[in-house]
Amino acid sequence: MKALKFDGALKLVENEPVHKREGEALVQIICAGICNTDLEIVKGYAGFHGILGHEFVGRVVESDDAALAGRRVVGEINVGCNECSLCLKGDSRHCSRRTVLGIKDRDGAFAEFISLPIRNLVQVPESLDDDTAVFTEPLAAACQILEQVDINSSSSVAVIGDGKLAQMIIRVVAQTGCSPTVIGKHEHKLELARINGVRCFQVTKPADDVSSLIDDLEGQGLVDKPDIVIEASGSPTGLPLALGLVRPKGIIVLKSTHHAETALALAQVVVNEVAIVGSRCGRLSSAIDLLANGKIDISPLISARFRLEEGLMAFKKAAQSDSMKVLLQIGQ
């Protein structure tokens, strides 16, 4: 089968066929999305070699569970050992022996087929088209924030970033009834963020000079210090900015997973008693509910669509600073 594989370089390969493993289902991929994590992996920082891809919608073609055969599904990307105390408590996302689809020790979804445990699959309602369903996984990552931090209509929330994940987060946070403030670099991406009264501020100063950057944002009218700052810029300079913005005793939610080290003046975390909360994957069911209710329109966030055979071109497009989500159309 055809697949996009990274082995130090990204290549379109003709791979051996995937076989269904015990307890798993064979899924034919319909459509997959390129995420910033994929872009980080092809930079070589994350140490993964194999078929990339973890955002997908597909159709079950072979399964021990007959009810699943032929169903459209999305998948939880973390595959736990199913034996340790975390897995037994239902938290295989943090199992120390987990594999992760297209990220850690498990071939991913930029391929014609994958095999994934039946327990990882979630059926997609008929009402959701493929393009929308492929956003389930990244939207779930945004929904995870609401599982970790209390955000309601009276919360004062700022989101740093205007990229793919930030756009998901803005839409999820807006569902709580509060109007987040967005701080981003790109005017055309900020334009996409202007939903439901969201206020946008454009960063025009170098991000490594935090105090002059904050002066500039204050000059644009960003005066009140937010209760909660969600850092989803994908850049090492995002957290220092978040620390400068958040109110004393406020919360910073950290979503970016770049692999560069960040130099931090930790004294301000202590002196201002700030809490920094790391946040990764979320439950797919929350995201499917939001999408199925039609509460979130993701269609403006699709920048381009390529066939799997055009995968290298798709990655080039996804890496451009003006791109939002780039999809790979693989099957039907």
Residues that bind its own copies (CB under 8 A): 86, 91, 94, 96, 148, 236, 239, 248-249, 254-259, 261-280
Which CB, 50 or 250, lies closer to its own copies? 250
Packing angle between helix 136-148 and helix 284-292, nearest 10 degrees? 110
Which CB, 73 or 149, lies closer to its own copies? 149
Closest separation between CB of residue 138 and its own copies, Å? 14
CB atoms within 10 A of CB 159: 30
Which CB, 257 or 303, lies closer to its own copies? 257
CA dist list (Å): 12 to 5, 16, 43 = 6, 13, 17
Closest separation between CB of residue 173 and its own copies, Å? 18
Which CB, 205 or 258, lies closer to its own copies? 258
Which CB, 67 or 271, lies closer to its own copies? 271
Closest separation between CB of residue 259 and its own copies, Å? 6
Q: Are 232 and 160 in contact (CB under 8 A)?
A: yes
Closest separation between CB of residue 141 and its own copies, Å? 10
d(CA 32, CA 16): 20
Closest separation between CB of residue 302 and its own copies, Å? 25
Give, for 329, the enclosing helix (H) or strand (E): strand 325-329
Q: E strands along 18-173, which residues?
A: 24-34, 50-51, 55-63, 72-75, 78-79, 99-100, 113-117, 121-123, 157-160
